[in-house]
Amino acid sequence: MGEKEVEQYDLFNTAETAALYSKHQPPLHHQAIDVVLSATQGRQQLLDIGCGSGSSTRPFCCHFSKVVGVDYSPTQITLAKTLSAELSNLQFHQGSIYELPVPNRSVDCILGVMIAQFIDLPQFFKEAKRVLKPGGALVFHGKCSPKVVEIKRETESKPESETATTVSELNQRIEYIKTQLFSGLFHDRTTFNPHKYTNIPPLYPNQEPTRKEWTTSYWSTIPQLADYILTWSAAGKYCVRHSVSSGELRRKLVEMLGDVGVVRVRCEADRFTWCSVNYQD
């Protein structure tokens, strides 16, 4: 497949990608939920754009009377409905975020998780202004790639020479995967994520958005870290470019990260939100 075909490949509309996202992406962090709840005046309706399999949608069903997830991918929506069948106040719609399936001024909050870098913001902002109630909020949530800060080793059954990987070396390997193995394959042409959403323009003129940042910490194994990397858009494009399966890429990632002697790694990742409230009406 040529470079143009790789770039245009419908990565997010495959059953494999939907399953990887659902299984290996971290759950929505409680501080992101708190940002949404503190920013919204009403609790009637929340709209999750680019909802995927619904992992960022379902947590709000206990806070809002009605929750709606929208994604362009039929595959993702099918999985979302399957995983959410018992939630009576949750609906999923396959369609465009530029033509949201809700009336004017009907939404208390629009949430977008890791989607800002994938969309035409000026076009979407027009639609957001149409559907937000007075006092309604638009919230984007993003996160940076994990950084290893601690390693736990297995030393009893392996010689010291096989357990000598350092935190710095492991981070260098992750950086190599991002910048060399996946060179040119990341979708983000906006640099929104690297700048932690500081460069997303205001939704409303003369109204500065509010931002929050925090750092999360969690333990992972090397294979689990490889599974998380498989959910990156660049990983999917790598598989297409090189005609390899996700399983083959996973084995390559584990080998590159080096799992010999390492039992667990503690990772930290910066998370951030961008929020704008409709004070115009």
Q: For position 188, what pLDDT does the model report?
A: 62
Express each pLDDT in 193-208 by its tens digit: 889 999 999 999 888 9
* Contacts for 114 with CB less than 8 Å, ≥ 6 apart: 50, 141, 142, 143, 193
Report the amino acid identity of residue 145: S
pLDDT at 154 over 70: no
Average pLDDT over residues 174-183: 94
What backbone phi and psi angles, to 5 degrees, belong to 140?
-105, 140
Query: d(Cα 56, Cα 35) in Å, to the nearest integer?
Result: 13
pLDDT band for position 260 (50/70/90)?
low
pTM exceeding the 0.85 threshold for the entire prediction: yes
pLDDT band for position 172 (50/70/90)?
very high
Express each pLDDT in 111-121 by its tens digit: 999 999 889 99
Cα 220 to Cα 227, 229, 234, distances in angstroms = 10, 12, 21
Q: Which of 21-25, 78-82, 85-89, 239-243 has the lowest mean pLDDT?
A: 21-25
Q: Where are the alpha helices (DSSP H) in the chain?
A: 3-8, 15-24, 30-39, 74-83, 121-131, 167-176, 222-230, 233-242, 246-257
Q: For position 15, what pLDDT does the model report?
A: 73
Q: How many residues are given for the chain? A: 281
What backbone phi and psi angles, to 5 degrees, belong to 253?
-65, -45
Q: For position 19, what pLDDT does the model report?
A: 79
- Mean pLDDT in the chain? 88
pLDDT at 171 over 90: yes
Decide if 263 contacts 221 (C-beta within 8 A). Answer: yes
Average pLDDT over residues 101-117: 95
Q: For position 159, what pLDDT does the model report?
A: 52
Express each pLDDT in 210-238 by its tens digit: 999 999 999 999 999 999 999 888 898 89
pLDDT at 164 over 80: no
Q: Which of 188, 37, 217, 16 is nearest to 118 (CA)?
A: 188
Q: Which of 22-26, 123-127, 145-149, 198-202 has the lowest mean pLDDT?
A: 22-26
Q: For position 99, what pLDDT does the model report?
A: 96
Q: For position 152, what pLDDT does the model report?
A: 85
